[in-house]
């Protein structure tokens, strides 16, 4: 079994590629979703976040995602602290997920593989890229946020040019080539 990371900047289309892989019958682990579950449900993590950021970080027993996003995208130290808290737990959850699969390829979708050096845990990494303006449009529509908010989030991630030299495969999601065909091409290379 090969463990394959799927990464890319916000709005690049990682989730679309992941859904295509699932439609091709490959298991996909969604790191961001698991991280959100941990932030909401792990009692130790909840208490550490409350200690760091105050009681307002949870509202009606749920994580105040907007407040956390505001904090971590404006405070590098806070972002590092949250990452150090959550990422080892997400990695452990992926390992458990992968060990329960019976597929030749297991995929892990994660936004910041290279930034956290998590790419070293994978056999190969697929980088999904898209033009910046297109990414901004997608995120503004998806998250109902301003262009400035998207730009602030993008500033906290590495640019595609920095990631490209580290990726094994680059999948360009600019709407010009069919993603299904490009994804199948990469899968074929991985299997052979």
Neighbours of 74 (CB within 10 A): 11
Same domain, 80 and 175: no
DSSP-assigned letter for residue 111: T
Number of domains in the chain: 2
Residue-wise pLDDT tens digits, 118-151:
999 999 999 999 999 989 899 899 888 889 888 8
What is the Cα–Cα distance from 104 to 1, expressed in whole angstroms?
4
Q: What is the pLDDT of residue 54?
A: 93
Residue-wise pLDDT tens digits, 17-50:
999 999 999 999 999 999 999 999 999 999 999 9
Q: Is residue 110 part of a domain?
A: yes
Residue 29 zone, left/alpha/beta (φ > 0; ψ -120 to 50; rest): beta
Strand partners for 119: none
Give the largest Cα separation in the chain, rounded: 52
What is the mean pLDDT of the segment spanning 156-167?
Answer: 90
Residue 116: domain span: 1-27+101-192
Same domain, 8 and 48: no
Indicate the residue among 88, 112, 136 that finishes a domain: 88
Q: Is residue 8 part of a domain?
A: yes
């Amino acid at each position: 079994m090969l463990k394959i990371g799927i990464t890319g900047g916000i709005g690049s289309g990682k989730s679309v590629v992941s859904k295509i892989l699932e439609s091709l019958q490959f298991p996909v682990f969604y790191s961001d979703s698991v991280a959100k579950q941990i932030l909401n449900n792990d009692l130790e993590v909840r208490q550490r976040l409350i200690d760091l950021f105050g009681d307002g970080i949870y509202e009606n027993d749920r994580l105040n995602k907007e407040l956390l996003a505001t904090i971590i995208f404006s405070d590098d130290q806070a972002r590092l602290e949250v990452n150090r808290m959550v990422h080892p737990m997400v990695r452990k959850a992926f390992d458990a997920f992968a060990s329960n699969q019976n597929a030749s390829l297991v995929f892990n979708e994660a936004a910041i593989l290279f930034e956290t050096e998590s790419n070293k845990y994978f056999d190969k990494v697929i980088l999904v890229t898209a033009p910046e303006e297109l990414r901004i449009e997608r995120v503004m529509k998806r998250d109902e946020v301003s262009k400035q908010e998207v730009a602030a989030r993008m500033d906290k991630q590495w640019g595609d040019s920095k990631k490209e030299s580290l990726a094994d495969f680059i999948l360009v999601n600019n709407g010009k080539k069919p993603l299904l065909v490009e994804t199948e091409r990469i899968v074929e290379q991985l299997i052979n």
